[in-house]
């Protein structure tokens, strides 16, 4: 049971980016076709990914077992804890949208909540910038997330600082 409710570390960045593309598509379809019930589907997907990684979420399974292998299994490992944090933020936003739309009938407000989700997922999918990971890094720097949560993240941050210092000198 513990194995089911675990999150991979590291995460394949290619898989994460493709899953984010599906989130963008679902959220855009939700708004464009005025289908507020899809907010619940988006929220359930985030919940499944936060709780189990790609083990039982249909989109994540399609990506990790179908699409990525069909692309030749490209792999770029990135630390898992920031990705899980990002999924948690997506869950919070999509659940808020679902409650607004389905619980209270505030469909317009729900769609407004989906807009930052679309922006963040688009940045992840199309540019490779994980906003949740970026926030996670700042929370670590400010001591709100203990270093023990992601020792790999410290290595990434140290490399980024070294690269930034080298580019300023060069």
| 42 Cβ contact partners less than 8 Å away, ≥ 6 residues apart | 23, 26, 27, 30, 94, 97, 98, 114, 117
33 pLDDT tier (thresholds 50, 70, 90): very high
Q: Where are the domains of the chain?
A: 11-130
CA distance 146 to 6: 19
25-39, 90-104, 120-134, 142-156: range with lowest mean pLDDT: 142-156
Judge whether residue 112 has pLDDT over 80.
yes
Asked if residue 22 lies in contact with residue 124, where contact means CB atoms within 8 angstroms, the answer is: no
Express each pLDDT in 52-95 by its tens digit: 999 999 999 999 999 999 999 999 999 999 999 999 999 999 99
């Amino acid at each position: 049971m513990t194995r089911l409710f675990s999150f991979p570390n590291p995460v394949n960045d290619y898989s994460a980016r493709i899953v984010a593309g599906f989130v963008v598509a679902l959220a855009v379809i939700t708004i464009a076709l005025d289908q507020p019930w899809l907010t619940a589907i988006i929220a359930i997907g985030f919940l499944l990914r936060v709780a189990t990684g790609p083990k039982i979420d249909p989109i994540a399974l399609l990506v990790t077992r179908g699409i990525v292998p069909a692309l030749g299994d490209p792999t770029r490992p990135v630390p898992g804890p920031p990705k899980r944090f990002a999924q948690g933020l997506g869950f919070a936003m999509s659940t808020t949208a679902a409650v607004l739309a389905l619980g209270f009938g505030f469909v317009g407000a729900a769609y407004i909540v989906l807009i930052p989700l679309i922006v963040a997922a688009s940045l992840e999918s199309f540019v490779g910038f994980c906003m949740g990971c970026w926030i996670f890094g700042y929370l670590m720097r400010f001591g709100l997330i203990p270093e023990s949560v992601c020792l790999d993240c410290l290595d990434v941050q140290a490399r980024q600082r070294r690269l930034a210092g080298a580019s300023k000198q060069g």
